[in-house]
Amino acid sequence: MNTHNFKLLIVDDDTDYTKVLTKILSTENYAIQTANSGEDAFFKVQLAHYDLVLTDLMMSGMNGIELLEKIKKESPLTEVILITGFGTVENAVEAMRKGAYSYFIKGNDPDELLMTISKIVQSTFIKKQNSVLIDTLGKKSIELTSKNLKFQKTIELAKKAAYSNASILLLGESGVGKEVFARYIHQHSQRKNAPFIPVNCHAFQETMLESELFGHKKGAFTGAQEDRIGRFEAADHGTLFLDEIADTPMNTQTKLLRAIENKTIERIGSNEGIYCDFRLISATNKSIDEMISNQTFREDFYYRISTIIINIPPLRERKEDIPQLVDYFIEELFTEMKCIYRGMDEEVYDMLMTYDYPGNVRELKNIIERLAVLSMGGWISKEDVQLRPTKKSLGDVSLKDYRAHAEKSYIQQVLEENNYNMTQSAQKLGISRRQLFNKVTEYNLKDE
C-alpha cells in the first residue's frame, strides 16, 4: 500500500504543535500539508482533495466543528479527525455525530493517532480501488423503448435472457449501445444489486489486460507495488461485461476460457485459485465467424461466451426512434448546461431524420451536443447542423427528393411490418387511412 498518495492536511493555529504533529506523521511518508487557520484550511480543501484533515477543535476564527461542517459539504469523502484537550472531549464527541471520523486528545500516546490514521489509509485505499473497478448505476435505471418492431423484439430477447445466468454475446456496429444493453440486462437480472463491472478489452495491452482482469500480487512485475484485485473478483455475485471481446489476444482467450469454465482465477504472481461467482456478457462489432476462419479467435472460446446471441440493429434501421432520442438528448444536455430549450428550425428535424448515422446512437448524441452548445438563446439553428458525407454520392439530389425517398422507404417498412394492414400501418405512422392510401398511390407501394 503506497502511503505517498495519501493526502493529509494538519490544521492548528498553534504553529509549534503543527510542527510536532508533522514530524510524528512524516515517519509514515504521508503527503502532508499544513494550515494555521480554519479559513486557510477550507481554502485548500476547495483547491484540492485531501483524504484526511486533522484539525484542532478550538481555534480563533473558524473553529474545528465549523470547518468539519464545511468540509463535509464540499468534499464528503474527506475524513476528519478532531484534535482536542481533556476539557473539550464532549464537544469532540458531538462533532462525531456531525461526520467526524474520531477525535484525538492532545497529550495521549501518538501511536493511538497513528493507528487510527492507518485504518483510514486502508479504508481509503479500498474505496479508491473499488471506485476504479466497480461501476454501478446506483439508483439510476435504464429503460429501453422503441417504436421499431425489430428493436422491440431485441429488447424483449434481452429481458428474457436477463433471467438466466447464461453467457450473452452482444453483436452490433460501433455506437449502437451495446453497453447500454449490457447494463439493461444486469438491471433486470437477479444480480441487479451486485456490481456491474465493464472492461474495454481494446483499451489494454495484453499484459495489462490480464492484470486488469485477474489482478496481481505485490512484486509480480515492475510497478506492482501492492496486491490488487482484478475485475473478475470485483464482479463477484454481479455481472462482468467484456466489451470489444474480439480484440483479446489468443493467449488471453485461453486464460479467459479456463476462468469462465471453472469460475476460478489466479492473480498474476500467485498460484492460489480464487472462486468468483459472476455472470458474463461480452460484446463486439467485428465478425467473429471470419476471425475463427482466420484463426485469430478460438472457436471453443466463442461457444463459451455465446450461449445467447443478441444482434442490436443500427440506428438507420429504426429511424422512427430518432425523434424520441433527439428529445431525450436535448433535455439531458440543456439541463446539464442549465439552459432553457426553446425549439429548433423545422429543417433540423428533416436533416436528422434523413441522415444514416454511421456512428449510430453515439453519433446522434454528439450531433445534438454540438447543436446544444452552439444554440443561441436555447434555439437550435439549421445553420449549425454538420453531418458527415455518406459513402454513396447523392449527386444533385434536392432536399425535397431526398426527404421523399426517406419517407417512401419508411412507409414501405411499416407496411411490411404490419402485413400491409392499412389501418394498423396508418396508426403506426400517425396519419389517417386516406393519407396513407394517397402515399401508397404516390410512391407506387405494392405488396410484393
- 7 grid coordinates: 493526502
Residues 179 and 240 in one domain: yes
State yes or no: pLDDT of 389 exceeds 50. yes
Average pLDDT over residues 188-213: 88
Q: Are residues 307 and 320 in the same domain?
A: no
Residue 443: the pLDDT is 78
Residue 193 has a CB neighbour count (10 Å cut-off) of: 10
Radius of gyration of the chain (CA): 29
Q: Is the pLDDT of residue 289 over 80?
A: yes
Classify 103 as helix, strand or coil: strand
The parent domain of residue 94 ranges over 3-133
Query: Does residue 315 contact residue 172 with C-beta atoms inside 8 Å?
Result: no
Check the CA dihedral 326-342-331-431 and report its sign.
negative
Instruction: At 320, list the grid cell.
Output: 422512427
Q: Is residue 143 part of a domain?
A: no
Are both 284 and 355 inside the same structural domain? Answer: no
pLDDT digits (tens, 9 = 90+) for 11-59: 999 888 999 999 999 888 888 999 999 998 998 888 778 889 999 988 9
DSSP string, 341-377: --EE-HHHHHHHHH---TTHHHHHHHHHHHHHHH-BT
What CATH code is carried by the domain that includes residue 374? Answer: 1.10.8.60
Q: Is residue 65 scored above 50 in pLDDT?
A: yes
Grid coordinates of 383? 445553420
In a domain, 368, yes or no: yes
CA atoms of 168 and 279, how far apart (whole Å) = 9
Whole-number Å distance between alpha carbons of 371 and 377: 12
Confidence class for position 140, pLDDT limits 50, 70, 90 = low
Phi, psi of 187 (to 5 degrees): -70, -25
Chain-centre distance for alpha carbon 257: 26
How confident is residue 129, by pLDDT bands cut at 50, 70 and 90? low
Last residue of a domain, one of 249, 279, 311: 311
Residue 225 sits in the same domain as residue 240: yes
| Domain identity same for 333 and 424 | no
The answer, yes or no, to whether residue 1 has pLDDT greater than 70, is no
Last residue of a domain, one of 268, 285, 311: 311
Kindly indicate the confidence band of residue 136, based on its pLDDT and cuts at 50, 70 and 90: very low
| pLDDT for 127 | 60
- Could you tell me if residue 144 is inside a domain? no
Q: Is the pLDDT of residue 392 over 70?
A: no
Amino acid identity of residue 146, one-letter, is S
For residues 186 and 125, state if they share a domain. Answer: no
Domain match, 190 and 301 both = yes
Say if residue 382 is exposed, middle or buried (CB neighbours under 10 Å; 0-12, 13-18, 19+).
middle
User: Could you tell me if residue 287 is inside a domain?
Assistant: yes
- Asked whether residue 142 is assigned to any structural domain, the reply reads no
Lowest mean pLDDT among 213-217, 416-420, 437-441, 443-447: 443-447
Same-domain pairing of 39 and 26: yes
At 26, which CATH number? 3.40.50.2300
Collapsing DSSP to helix, strand or coil, 388 comes out as: coil
Residues 362, 437 within the same domain: no
What average pLDDT does the segment 282-295 reach? 93
Rounded to whole angstroms, the Cα distance separating 168 from 406 reads: 34
In a domain, 102, yes or no: yes
pLDDT of residue 391: 55
**Is residue 390 included in any domain, yes or no?**
no
In a 3-state reduction of DSSP, which class is residue 380? Answer: strand
Boundary residue ending a domain (311, 334, 366): 311
Counting residues of the chain whose pLDDT is more than 90, the rounded percentage is 44
The count of structural domains within the chain is 4
Identify the CATH number of the domain in which residue 162 sits. 3.40.50.300
Q: How confident is the model at residue 388 (pLDDT cuts 50, 70, 90)?
A: confident
DSSP state of 312: P
Asked if residue 408 and residue 367 are part of one domain, the reply reads no
pLDDT at 3: 67
Q: Are residues 35 and 122 in the same domain?
A: yes
The helix/strand/coil state of 171 is: strand
Report whether pLDDT(217) > 70.
yes
244 pLDDT above the threshold of 90: yes
Same domain assignment for residues 117 and 10? yes
Q: Please say if the pLDDT value at position 321 is more than 60.
A: yes
pTM tops 0.85, yes or no:
no
On whether residue 159 sits in a domain, the answer given is yes
Which pLDDT tens digit goes with each residue over 337-385? Answer: 888 999 999 899 889 999 999 999 999 999 999 999 998 888 999 999 8
